[in-house]
Chains A and B, each alone.
Chain A
Amino acid sequence: MKPMVTLAALGAAAIALAAVSGADASRYDQYLRPAKAPEPADNIGNPARVELGKTLFFDPRLSGSNWISCATCHNPSRGWSDGLPTGVGHGMQVLKRATPSLINCGFNTTLMWDGRAPNLEEQALGPIAAAAEMNQDLPGLVSKLSAIQGYPKLFNAAYPGEGISEKTIGKAIAAYERTILSGESPFDRWRKGDARAVDAAAKRGFEVFEGKGKCVKCHEGFNFTDNGFHNIGVKEPNGEVDVGRFAQRALRVNYGAFRTPSLRDVALTAPYMHNGAYATLEEVVEHYDRGGDVTEHLSPNMSPLGLTAGEKSDLVAFMKSLTGKQLVVTLPHLPN
């Protein structure tokens, strides 16, 4: 009788392994999101900091016009982006680049399409002061917030003794942004062993993603990004030039290179690419299948893929399986 039990146990183990299947089970952990985004020692998140940061994030008084908030462009109802090819800022100015989603931005080791911002604390002040975005000078903002009853109290609770300053504004917003995390997706449930969480197309698509499509060379790990910069040959509209990362570090490989975006919740954040060149994931897959359009300075990891029609739609199905449960956002009451 004993051998039977062992066999049954073995069978169960085999089933468990098969459930994780498609790829090898030993790499299962690499796709699990860490519980928390890393934080700098001088800005460990706590409820008071997150609450203040959220209030600032949704407060249009952070702009010169008192009309544009961070959430105007990074709208939680649209995957923390704006659904536009490129952002629209102060006085309806159309920006050069697309508004990235903020989901999991706390894990990015550099920020912006060209990596010019080193951390969330510093990044937060950029769009406030930028004339084309929120057009609000920072000293003016400190006076403005100090005069709004209710803000001093919030700042004091979050950063006792530090006062209202550019620094504490940046810190609070960053603390809030670190809570904007991706939720569990069908893909994650599949990786955890629920074989029925995704359909066969998504499973085949994941194989294309890791294999023939070579997508993992750049979109790797739980956040599907290598935190790196690549020129994937995206065309600019009517002859415009965007040198991308090259403006930050003038090295040949950086010419026209942009930060690899995360693919978590990517189905929610069309249009795609730094300039919003593609309206759908299908168009993105066609781009990769062609091996990119602009061959000058093209990443050597790019080449025509020769995907079949089935493989292309499987890839799209896989990317759609990365849409997770969305964070429930309750809007803050802004102090008066």
Chain B
Amino acid sequence: MIRLIAAAAVLAALPASATEVEVAQKNKKFSTTAVKAKVGDTLVFRNDDPFFHNIFSLSDTQSFDLGSYPQGESRKVVLKKEGTLEIECAIHPDMKLKVQVEK
């Protein structure tokens, strides 16, 4: 019971307008270098290159390592906190993306 209520509370806290923001990885670049999004939005990273990419962030607001994945696959992350997120590919350090997360 308690678990269920907690889950419901989390759901309720999500902004009604939570959306998916897609960013492609092509030619060892992100399709954009800066993104604005809201807490609760989902970032989707799609690999359009014929080799593996990785996604990670070691930012203070949120840190994660989504591992590496081949062409055609995607990885997702839900934005948890407002602030600035620096997202990179560990395999290709020149790939950098700044995400401005707003309330």
Complex contact B93–A109 (CB within 8 A): yes
Which among A254, A257, A301 is the interface contact of B51 at CB below 8 angstroms?
A: A301
Interface size on A, residues (CB 8 A): 20
CA distance A254 to B91 in the complex (A): 7
Residues of B within 8 A of A109 (CB): 93-94
Task: Find chain A residues with CB under 8 A from B70 CB.
Answer: 300
Task: Please tell me which stretch of A4-12, A168-176, A222-230 contacts chain B, meaning at least 4 of its Cβ atoms lie within 8 angstroms of it.
Answer: A222-230
With the chains together, A230 CA to B89 CA distance in Å?
A: 12
Q: Per-residue 0/1 for A226-246: is the Cβ within 8 Å of any B Cβ (1 yes, 0 no)?
A: 111110000000000000010
Binary contact track B54-68/A, C-beta < 8 Å → 1, others 0: 101010000001011
In the complex the two chains form, what is the Cα distance from A251 to B51 in whole Å?
18
- Inter-chain contacts of B50 with A (CB < 8 A): 217
User: In the docked arrangement, what's the CA distance between A110 and B94, Å?
Assistant: 9
Decide if B28 is an interface residue (CB 8 Å cutoff).
yes
Whether the Cβ atoms of B90 and A249 lie closer than 8 Å is yes
Q: Does A132 touch B at the CB level, under 8 Å?
A: no
Q: How many B residues have CB within 8 A of the partner chain? A: 16
| B90 to A: closest C-beta gap in Å | 5
A300 adjacent to B68 (CB under 8 Å) = yes
Q: In the complex the two chains form, is A226's CB within 8 Å of B92's CB? A: yes
Q: Given the complex of chains A and B, what is the CA–CA distance between A249 and B67 in angstroms?
A: 13
Contact of A115 among B52, B58, B67, B93 (CB under 8 A): B93
Q: Does A218 contact B (CB under 8 A)?
A: yes
CB-defined contacts of A257 to chain B, threshold 8 Å:
91
Residues A226 and B28 in contact, CB atoms below 8 Å apart: yes
In the bound complex, CA of A253 to CA of B93 (Å): 12
- Docked complex Cα distance between A9 and B54 (Å): 49
A299 on the B face (CB < 8 A): yes
Identify which of residues 254-303 in chain A touch chain B, using a CB-to-CB cut-off of 8 Å. Answer: 254, 257, 299-301
Give the distance in Å from the alpha carbon of A227 to the alpha carbon of B29 in the complex: 12
- Across the interface, do B90 and A301 meet the contact criterion of CB distance under 8 Å? no
Judge if A196 is at the interface, Cβ distance under 8 Å: no
Contact B92 A253 (CB under 8 A): no
Assuming A251-B56, A253-B67, what are 15 further A-B pairs, CB within 8 angstroms? A109-B94, A115-B93, A226-B28, A227-B94, A228-B28, A228-B91, A228-B92, A229-B93, A230-B91, A245-B90, A249-B90, A252-B65, A253-B91, A257-B91, A301-B51
